[in-house]
Amino acid sequence: MSTTFNPPTRVLMGPGPSDAHPRVLQAMARPLIGHLDPEFIRLMDEVKQMIQDTLYTSNHLTFVVSAPGSAGMETCLVNLLEPGDECIICINGVFGTRMADIASRCGATVHKIETEWGKITEPDQVRAALKVCPKPKLLALVHAETSTGALQPIREISDLVHEAGSLLVVDAVTSYGGVRLHMDEWGIDALYSGSQKCLSAPPGLSPVSFSPAAVKALENRKTKVQSWFLDLTMVKNYWEGSRRAYHHTAPVSAIYALHEALALVIEEGIEHRWDRHHEVHLLLKGQLESLGFRYLVEEDYRLPNLNSVFLPEGVDEAVLRQRLLHEYNIEVGGGLGAFAGKIWRIGLMGESCTPNHVHMLTGALRALLP
């Protein structure tokens, strides 16, 4: 048995993780310090500020959950929902389904808006749901549905939610850093993301942010948060204030890496980064369509950083995907749920979003396709 592990060098073009910049990989090799060391506290403050800047938010309660995006999802829902609350969950793919499951585990009554996979939730569907449940505690939706590549418009739905006196919770795991996202301007009350997609940091961390209205809902809870580890009444004391209270041992090296990844985003400029993702998507789109691929999502609601496509007629997607991996070291994702075995999910995220990545992929496809 080998005593060391040397992973192959892959070109990561699936739904995540994405390629990491050498500076991010080098950051993880820096010396460990304690998770309450004054220098680490300073680093945490810088991470918080960079997340606020790139989400366009002034939310004081902005921090990083020491676990992946699914834990960010749980953090938002278990802190805001109590037994007996009513909520509306928009479902148009895998991750809306997951939100509904978590909300029901909180003891909430879940009203579902179910939409065909690959489509978006329309404002009229929200209006109809608010007639059935006129004052939900919250409405939750997925901004960028990773299972389908659909990009959900938010502004109009946000207005409807706030007119009802409710909170808006948004899954931004695949959108943060890759497409336009303005947390405060759009009226988002709780948002969670992941480190491994358009931020191009290692998997395992979830940036989250809560508006003052969401914090007030947390403070007015009548019951304890069902999760000890994700209970923000305790976690926030580790991430804010002049005297930090021990809560858990933070993944120090992973936060080094996220700090470096966020620094790269700041250096590029978040709006330039959005533009880059769109431009490289258009390049990929033209080349894929010339090879006979078809997009799942209609153009107006298509994620530039997660391209869900049907393969040319008669091509076995799993065989071609495995050949790409083993012969060209290029990873793309297969379909999930209803689209398993039917589509590919091609990621153009962060460091994996370059013209060179597009040319490597489509060059390999030209060689492999019959």
Give pLDDT tens digits for 53-68.
999 999 999 999 999 9
C-alpha–C-alpha distance, residues 81 and 96, integer Å: 16
Is 217's pLDDT higher than 90? yes
End-to-end CA distance of the chain: 40
pLDDT of 310 reads 98
Average pLDDT (154-175) is 98
User: What is the pTM assigned to this prediction?
Assistant: 0.97
If pLDDT is split at 50, 70 and 90, which confidence band does 1 have?
confident
Average pLDDT (150-174) is 98
Q: Does domain 22-266 match CATH 3.40.640.10? A: yes
**8 Å CB contact between 133 and 167:** no
Average pLDDT (110-134) is 98
**8 Å CB contact between 337 and 148:** no
**8 Å CB contact between 173 and 204:** no
Is 345's pLDDT higher than 90? yes
Is 39's pLDDT higher than 90? yes
Q: What percent of the chain has pLDDT over 70?
A: 100
Average pLDDT (134-141) is 98
pLDDT, one tens digit per residue, over 246-266 is 999 999 999 999 999 999 999
pLDDT of 3 reads 86
pLDDT, one tens digit per residue, over 261-291 is 999 999 999 999 999 999 999 999 999 999 9
Average pLDDT (63-84) is 97
Is 2's pLDDT higher than 80? no
Average pLDDT (191-209) is 98
Q: Does domain 11-15+270-368 match CATH 3.90.1150.10? A: yes
Average pLDDT (108-117) is 98
Is 204's pLDDT higher than 80? yes
Amino acid identity of 214? A
Average pLDDT (164-182) is 98
Average pLDDT (192-216) is 98
Would you kindly state where each structural domain of the chain is located, as residue ranges? 11-15+270-368, 22-266
pLDDT, one tens digit per residue, over 11-37 is 999 999 999 999 999 999 999 999 999
pLDDT of 243 reads 79
**8 Å CB contact between 203 and 68:** yes
pLDDT of 340 reads 95
pLDDT of 338 reads 87
pLDDT of 241 reads 75
Is 242's pLDDT higher than 80? no
If pLDDT is split at 50, 70 and 90, which confidence band does 240 have?
confident
**Chain mean pLDDT for the chain:** 97
Going by C-beta distance under 8 Å and a sequence separation of 6 or more, which residues neighbour residue 70?
Answer: 98, 206
